[in-house]
Amino acid sequence: MGSVAPVEVEGAELLTVELPLVTPFRTSYATSVVERKLLVRLWTDAGTGWGECGAPAEPLYTSEYGDAARHVLVHHLLPRLAGAGDVTPDDVAIALAPVQGHRMAKAALEMAALDAWGRRHDRSFASLLGSTRAAVPAGVAVGVTGSVDELLAAVEGYVDEGYRRVKLKVHPGWDVEPVAAIRRRFGPDLALQVDANGAYARCADAAGALAALDPFGLQLIEQPLAEDDLVGHAALARTVSTPICLDESVTSVATAVLALDLGACSVINVKPGRVGGYLEAGRLHDLALARGVPVWCGGMLETGLGRAANVALAALPGFTLPGDLSASRRYYARDLTAPFELHDGHLLVPTGPGLGVEVDEDALASMTVDRQTWSP
């Protein structure tokens, strides 16, 4: 990632914020009306950096959750990073490696460090990652709705706004009917994919149910089975013709290699928090690019901070499919930064130092429900 001078961690502030969603967001495992986010404001001798933790408020989507991330940051990760002395961005993962798991907490701390380094060296987050594009195509994720008519209305609005890809959340009983309705209304040219979040893990006839989606020309079926069922995904991939994409199953470059070697997937959703940080996400991108595997950037309903970092990552050349990169107003009436807007179906990659966005302190104050200061 190029030469950068080391910095020393001087302290941090952990803030929990709550952002009301514009509309409830329903998946196969939960319905959200408010997003509760953990932010890291890292103080270094190079200046301040911001990180956002992808861990949700409750351990329903992942074993990681906000309060646990806060605990491991305060008691284990921040002390280790500060104790390492002068460090470069590449040293962050090394300093945190003895702590097992907690990838989303690690990713938030690394993000804050990268932001601080970028600001010190007047380099953008995209530049630090090696990204090359000025804009990335925007995709939108549509949660489970109360009816097919409600779904059609929602998708029509997003198509009219210019989104380049639509992803539907599905589960057993809500799959073929909504997909068929979307195809009838919008035709075969709409880039369409589905995401099950592992909802078919206990469905005995998963292969038959998902093979029924083959006639609809989907880009992919994302994470149909449980995250630890790579063998099941490999068997499913041999049964259905629609490409299988893995999300929750891929937690590192090593697990990606295993999944690809088993034939468990042919597409990968890259989420920086899930793999432990943006540098590991970049290495996963490099692996996929070398093997000719399409990748795209997944989303966790990020604020403008996390969105800025994800957009920068998605500007790497191997991200050939539109990701879960929506305009801010898709989720939030008021964001923590200046809102991201669509430009001909794309989001512009921030070019300013670090993340390239500034926190709206008034918005931050109004949304903060808890804060904790940490010092070495």
| Cβ atoms < 10 Å from Cβ of 215 | 13
Pairing of strands 47-53, 192-195: unpaired
What is the Cα–Cα distance from 259 to 65, expressed in whole angstroms?
25
Could you give the C-alpha distances from 227 to 62, 72, 194, 232, in angstroms and in order? 10, 23, 16, 10
What is the Cα–Cα distance from 277 to 117, expressed in whole angstroms?
15
**Residue whose C-alpha is closest to residue 304's, from 352, 337, 332, 330:** 337
Half-sphere exposure of 351 (CA within 13 A, CB side): 5
Residues serving a catalytic function are: 169, 271
Both ends of the chain: CA-CA distance in Å?
Answer: 28
Max CA separation in the chain (angstroms): 60
Strands of 267-270's sheet in order across: 139-142, 165-169, 192-195, 221-222, 244-246, 267-270, 295-297
CB 87, CB 120: distance < 8 Å: no
CB 267, CB 294: distance < 8 Å: yes
Residue 15 token pair: 């803030």
What is the Cα–Cα distance from 259 to 253, expressed in whole angstroms?
10
3-state secondary structure (DSSP) of residue 280? helix
Reported in sequence order, the residue ranges of the chain that DSSP labels E, i.e. its strands, are 9-26, 31-44, 47-53, 135-137, 139-142, 165-169, 192-195, 221-222, 244-246, 267-270, 295-297, 346-348, 368-374
